[in-house]
Chains A and B, each alone.
Chain A
Amino acid sequence: METLTLLSGGLTAILSDPATLAWCALGVTIGTVVGALPGIGTVTTMAVLLPLTFGLSPVSALVLLVAIYLGGMFGGRISSILLNIPGDASSVVSTFDGYPLARQGRVGYALTLSAVASFVGGLIGFAGLALLAAVLAKAAILFGPAEYFLLVCLVLLLTSGISNATRSKAIAAVSLGVIISTVGLDRITGDERFTWGIVDLWDGADLVVVAIGIFGLSEVIVRVRDGGRIDSSGKLPLRSLFPPVPTVTRYAPSMARGGLIGFLIGIFPGAGASMATFIAYAAEKTLGKDRETFGKGNPRGLAAPEAADNASVGGALIPTLSLGIPGSASGAMILGGLVMVGLQPGPELFTKSADIVWAVIAAVLVANVLLLVLNTVLVPFFATALRVISPYLTVFIASLCFVGVYSLRGNFFDVLLMVAFGLIGYLMRRSGYPLTSLLLGVVLGPMLEDNLRRALLVSRGDWSVFWSSPVTVILLTTIVVAVAALLAHAVWRRARSRAGRASVMG
């Protein structure tokens, strides 16, 4: 009851002040547009606009930042679905089935489905944030380096089954990604690793550079090779842009599962939305009977990760607000916003500045509603924009990749690196190596290595740290079961193919 009272107070603070509501609307619009542009990313936008909040009231400032955060999450899917270029790392999974849907001429359906899934995910995140903030924040701090290491191992193991490529290729690609993430100065000892003396590589290969290269530029090369335009370049009937409600609502269970996974993963500091989307996709694929259609335009493969992406925002705000530990880079920007308006994030925030905290929580709900309206109304606009630019899509994507990467640091070395990754991505596609596995390795590589080494440093070299706490025991058991299941599945498939061959020969 107390929660409802506090929440209604927060909602009143936003809805009764036209200026705050206007900032919220502006935030979601900017976030959506910028999120759709590859390379810029939500974090950069929040960083650029952070000084704008100096002149605003604390509530307006924080509402603006939360609105940009959520808008960026919504926007990231647009370029993933339309162009096969993820706006940010967490939108990578949306390309798996979103882009094939667009290629089948179902642009409107893919955009509407993902908008609704994002909304459902956002609602789950909001509900979780409002109800469980205090309780789950305590659980998150049970995760130390050993637990994180095992969690990352489990994620890598489970998601190696995401791709439709052979498992050995998926494992090679994931490992290759982890090795790419080790290029640069070692974060613990400062040793130079695999840089060939190139100073620009000291900070390693930026994740956005790798993502845009292997997804965006390699897509351009494939388009140039095939001389292809997407199938939606013809006239789209208005009806197809607003699909019947049942075709969207039938995927509600996938959205709910994805939202729940995204929320829970989002709570863990550092885990982030990208891990949540990968897990949601893997879970959906594991549960489904139509696994073969994943990666070829299965709506469930789009709905679940989109819901997870937006639900992770609610989860990430829990440690940010109650512990002062940001769950993601965007969460860190919110943290910066809290400090800038004179608030100290932590347990006392909920007692000393309850009005502002609950306004932030209410902003998640308001921003989600605004985003749903904005994104469903604008579906015809996005589809028309795609039709207009279709004949020039190759140069459009290529130039976006170039400018997006250059805008990160103003360094042409990054652009050159992006071109190299573009070529690598193209060669990987030709050889049947999964791009997503490589990117997953690059995303999770630093977490894997840092937590492995930190865990052993803390335990002074005692490896039993990986099975000495209840959480590690649960994670380790799950890993062992997963490995056993994967091996059993491989043996069963081999036996079945042998039996099939024998019956053909017989």
Chain B
Amino acid sequence: MAERTRRGRVSAFPVLACLWIGTVVWQAVELALRHTDDSADLGPAFLPLALGVVVLVLLVADLVRQVRTERAEPAEPSDALGTGRRLRRWFEPPPRRFVALAVVAAAFGPWIGLAAAMVVLILGCLRYVEQRTWNRAVLTTVVLVAALYVVFVVLLQVRIELLPAY
């Protein structure tokens, strides 16, 4: 795809970090106002507040620097798409598919159990992220899950609940 340069685009990390640190500073101020203990203790809000302000300043400075710098970026198709096709296109890059699979496996873990969550993750990753054949994906999943079971549960005797907690 053709690339173009554009100002004003920023990377995701400083934006997300700024948002979270913003909530930290706000909660730390609330904590500091609530902290009525007059002992020598600095209180639970001191360090997060002090460091939070520093981080906020550094992140904002980075964002400003990024906004001012021209960045090359791939041109995106401008054709109008329906929600379904747009969603499918959004999920086309393999990293997004992998993250979605990992989130699903972790989020549904309490209801489906670790064993099933591992099957979802491994099978899904092999089939939909790495585009392996079904036969190969199933075989690899079985071997890998069995190997993990032998190492962690049989050999190391780690107490792991394999079945759903609910």
Contacts and interface: CB of A to CB of B under 8 A. Distances in A.
A392 B13 contact: no
A410 interface: yes
A79 interface: no
B47 A449 contact: yes
B24 A40 contact: no
Contact of B125 (A179, A225, A398, A412): A398
Contacts of A12: none
B40 interface: yes
Interface in B148-166: 148, 151-152, 156-161, 165
Interface stretch (A14-22, A131-139, A373-381, A417-425): A417-425
Interface string A6-44: 000000000000000000000000000010010010001
Nearest to B51: A175
Given A224-B129, A406-B114, A412-B110, A453 B122 contact: no
Contacts of B142: none
Contacts of B148: 399-400, 403
Contact of B95 (A37, A44, A225): A225
B106 A419 contact: yes
12 contacts: A45-B156, A175-B58, A193-B48, A194-B48, A396-B144, A403-B118, A407-B158, A415-B106, A431-B13, A452-B47, A457-B39, A460-B40
A189 to B, nearest CB: 5
B19 interface: no
A210 to B, nearest CB: 14
B122 A395 contact: yes
A176 interface: yes
B109 A415 contact: yes
Interface stretch (A85-93, A164-172, A350-358): A164-172
A457 B38 CA distance: 11
A430 B71 CA distance: 14
Contact of B105 (A34, A402, A407): A402
A188 B42 CA distance: 10
A412 B109 contact: yes
B99 A168 contact: no
A403 B44 contact: no
B54 interface: yes
B98 A406 contact: no
B31 A419 contact: no
B106 A399 contact: no
A453 B42 contact: yes
B67 to A, nearest CB: 14
Q: Which of A194, A224, A395, A431 has most chain B Cβ within 10 Å?
A: A395
A461 B159 contact: no
Contacts of B27: 193-194
A448 interface: yes
Contacts of A398: 98, 102, 121-122, 125
Interface string B2-34: 000000000111101100010110011001000
Contact of A48 (B16, B105, B156): B156
Contacts of A188: 41, 44
A264 interface: no
Contact of A426 (B40, B95, B130): B95
A453 B41 contact: yes
Interface in A176-228: 176, 178-179, 182, 186, 188-189, 191, 193-194, 217, 220-221, 224-225, 227
Nearest to A445: B47
Interface string B68-92: 0000000000000000000000000
Interface of B: 11-14, 16-17, 21, 23-24, 27-28, 31, 35, 37, 39-48, 51-52, 54-55, 58-59, 61-62, 93-95, 98-99, 102-103, 105-107, 109-110, 114, 117-118, 121-122, 125-126, 129-130, 140, 144-145, 148, 151-152, 156-161, 165
A113 B23 CA distance: 46
B40 A457 contact: yes
B58 A191 contact: no
Given A34-B156, A217-B102, A410 B12 contact: no
B144 A168 contact: no
B126 A224 contact: no
Contacts of B158: 40, 44, 48, 407
Given A194-B48, A221-B99, A227-B94, A169 B62 contact: yes
B18 to A, nearest CB: 10
Contacts of B114: 402-403, 406
Given A395-B126, A419-B103, A423-B99, 18 more contacts: A34-B156, A45-B156, A191-B35, A194-B48, A220-B98, A224-B94, A225-B95, A392-B126, A398-B122, A399-B121, A403-B152, A403-B160, A406-B109, A422-B102, A426-B95, A449-B47, A457-B41, A460-B40
A370 interface: no
Contacts of B151: 37
A386 interface: no
A182 B99 contact: no
Contacts of A410: 159-161
B160 A431 contact: no
A398 B126 CA distance: 11
A218 to B, nearest CB: 10
A179 B24 contact: yes
A168 B58 contact: yes
Interface string A60-94: 00000000000000000000000000000000000
Nearest to A441: B51
A428 B13 contact: yes
A194 B17 CA distance: 14
A424 to B, nearest CB: 7
B13 A461 contact: no
A372 interface: no
Minimum-distance CB pairs A-B, first 6: A461-B40, A412-B109, A186-B44, A427-B13, A172-B58, A431-B13
A416 B23 contact: no
